[in-house]
Amino acid sequence: MNDTKISGKVSPQDVFSVSDEVNYLEPSQLAGFEKSFLQWKNAASRADSVRARGRMWLLFLLLRHSGARLGEVLALDDSCAFEAEGSVVCSGGRTGCEGSLFPMTCFPR
C-alpha cells in the first residue's frame, strides 16, 4: 500500500472501489437484507452484544433512510442530533440542522 498520506494513514477511497456495474439493490434484495439484519440484531443475547448490534442497526437505518455518507453518520452527536418526537435526525450539529425525516419505525417506543 503506497497510498499513505503525510499523517501515515491510508485513505479508504484509495484502496476500495465499487464496480461501475454495481449501482443499487433491487427493492426485494433490500427488504431481504433488512430482514436478515434485523433477525441478526434481535438474536443477540448478551448485554454487550445487544448494545453493539443495536448500534449497527441504527447505523444501517441512518445510512438507508438519510442518504448521508458513512462519515457524516459517524460524525453525528447523539446528544443533540436525534429528535424522536418529530422523527428527525439533524446532521448540522448545534449550529444548524439539516434534518432528515425518518419513518416512525426507526424510533421504537
Is 42 a domain residue?
Answer: yes
Are residues 85 and 101 in contact, defined by beta-carbon separation less than 8 angstroms?
A: no
3-state SS class at 78: coil
Is 17 a domain residue?
Answer: no
C-alpha cell at 75: 460524525
Residue 83 has a pLDDT of 67
Residue 49 has a pLDDT of 94
Nearest residue to 93 (alpha-carbon basis) of 85, 101, 82: 82
CA distance 70 to 16: 14
Residue 28 has a pLDDT of 93
| Type of residue numbered 87 | S
Q: Where in the sequence is the domain holding 79, given as residue range(s)?
A: 30-106
Residue 103 has a pLDDT of 59
- In the chain, the number of structural domains is 1
What string of pLDDT tens digits covers the 109 residues of the chain? 455 555 667 776 677 777 777 777 888 999 999 999 999 999 999 999 999 999 899 889 888 887 778 888 888 877 777 666 666 666 665 555 565 656 555 555 5
Residue 7 has a pLDDT of 62
Residue 44 has a pLDDT of 94
